[in-house]
């Protein structure tokens, strides 16, 4: 089963918690035990799993990425979004989460974040649920 989540971002760099939407897809699938693959088909956006309880963690991650890879630098890519491509390569385009008893097997504080690096935009996240 493959489903898509539409994500509308509001700023150039933004992390959006998509955990509830991913869990809803897992629930809809009826899979009790398996794996959920989350894939972002964009070269300037990614996905990560990190702390979802304290929003300052995401703020710190975004701040650090922006400091390490600034928007404006001596990049050769003509579109002006080289920083977004680099950040996406570092963060990655996919995650996999174990499903147990019909639930995503995330840690207590973990959440799944869509990572926008070239917004604001309308984006897509593909979710594939496999198992029994």
Task: State residue 14's pLDDT score.
Answer: 97
Q: Which of 80, 75, 73, 46 is nearest to 61 (CA)?
A: 46
What SS3 string covers 35-67? Answer: EEEEECCCCCEEEEEEECCCHHHHHHHHHHHHH
Task: State residue 112's pLDDT score.
Answer: 98
The stretches in the chain having pLDDT less than 70 are none
Task: State residue 51's pLDDT score.
Answer: 98
Task: State residue 102's pLDDT score.
Answer: 98
Task: State residue 1's pLDDT score.
Answer: 79
Q: Express each pLDDT in 1-18 by its tens digit.
A: 799 999 999 999 999 999
Q: What CATH class is the domain 2-131?
A: mainly beta
Q: Look up the pTM and report it.
A: 0.97
């Amino acid at each position: 089963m493959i489903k898509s989540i539409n994500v509308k971002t509001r700023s150039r760099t933004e992390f959006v918690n998509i955990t509830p939407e991913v869990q809803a897809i897992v629930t809809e699938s009826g899979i009790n035990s398996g794996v959920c693959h989350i894939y972002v088909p964009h070269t300037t956006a990614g996905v990560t799993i990190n702390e979802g309880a304290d929003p300052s963690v995401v703020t710190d991650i975004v701040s650090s990425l922006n400091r390490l890879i600034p928007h404006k630098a001596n990049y050769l890519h003509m579109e002006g979004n080289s920083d977004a491509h680099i950040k996406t390569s570092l963060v990655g385009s996919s995650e996999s989460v174990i499903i147990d008893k019909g639930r995503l097997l995330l840690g207590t504080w973990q959440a799944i974040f869509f990572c926008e690096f070239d917004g604001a935009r309308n984006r897509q996240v593909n979710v594939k649920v496999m198992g029994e």
